[in-house]
Amino acid sequence: MMLRIAKPKVSLRILTHPIFGAPTLTRRSYSSGVKVKQMMVREALNSALDEEMTADPRVFLMGEEVGEYQGAYKVSKGLLHKYGPDRVVDTPITEAGFTGLATGAAYYGLRPVLEFMTFNFAMQAIDHLVNSAAKTHYMSGGNISVPIVFRGPNGAALGVGAQHSQCYAPWYGSVPGLKVVAPYSSEDARGLLKAAIRDPDPVVFLENELLYGESFPVSEEVLDPSFTLPIGKAKIEKEGRDVTITAFSRMVGYALKAAETLAKEDINAEIINIRSIRPLDKSSINASVRKTNRLVTVEEGFPQHGVGAEICASVVEEIFEYLDAPVERITGADVPMPYAANLERMALPQVEDIVRAAKRVCYRSIPIAAAV
């Protein structure tokens, strides 16, 4: 499927604090050490929170069930006992109220980490995210910094229906003043959360419920308290020469599995873990497409105005002459998420969808248009 691209170019800009500037981050976008242990994503998030709360007394955690219950997904396990109720704050079920409270605390120099039980519930508080947190630095002439992290599970889980299965990456990724990240692995989760907490600007941190219990190998470098990952930098999970496949969050795993299948047919796919939705690492994506001359984008969200659509626009606007095939977008179906398990699977991208798309752009199968 080829995307029709509008001609006007839009320059996206992320606001940074004029005094503090950009956060201090490691330049490398991945750990280079030998993997020494397995770590679950929830453990990576927990350790990042713990270390940042120890290092900076201004950091505090707030949200529904983050304290006594130790988090709906046990990400905040042990933090209430260690830091007390003044820094691990259980809230009522009132997203608009505690999001406004946390944003106001950030105005005054504290560093709140606000947990939504799911980002679907953040819709109750979207005015504070989009109009208060994202715009205040700009509207104050750079006088007010808003160092806050909005975090929680994003996208589809299993059998939770249309109202609890939405991907908000394109929603928040379109807002100037926000930084938006979506980790895949334990390394991503730990390094990006620590960077987000230290950042002087508001960061929307999109986790995935189905990844919390997944284990990934991590190195000694990742376990070091000083380890962070740069916001705005993608990671090449697998190098390849024939086709570039971009993905974020849970879909990275699907893309890597698709690459294994493609390798059996002598198609060497390059897999890019986007990590950062805004700012988007267009330079790394473009560099990969210059090498492979083909692009497939993968995401769980709806097709219209999605992250993949933005990547397609960027590639067509900036390096169209390098493309040897139409760009393919793999997305969720353009319908509210079904509840039935069989229909839910049909509404979400699957490994075989990625494989078929990659084979089409490599001219190893019949294009969709020719098959109809």
H-only helix segments in the chain: 41-55, 79-83, 95-107, 126-127, 136-139, 169-173, 186-198, 220-223, 251-263, 282-292, 307-319, 341-347, 351-361, 368-371
Helix or strand holding residue 330 (H, E) = strand 328-330
Which of 65, 164, 214, 317 is catalytic? The answer is 164
CA gap 258, 151 in Å, rounded: 29
DSSP state of 21: B
Three-state SS sequence of 148-170: CEEEEECCCCCCCCHHHCCCCHH
Which of 95, 207, 221, 299 is catalytic? The answer is 95
How far, in whole angstroms, is CA 113 from its chain's centroid? 16
164 is catalytic: yes
CA gap 349, 353 in Å, rounded: 6
Reference 46, options 219, 178, 213, 180; nearest CA is 213
Checking DSSP bridges between strand 35-40 and strand 215-219, what pairing results, if any? antiparallel
352 is catalytic: no
CA gap 257, 240 in Å, rounded: 14
Just list the catalytic residues: 95, 164
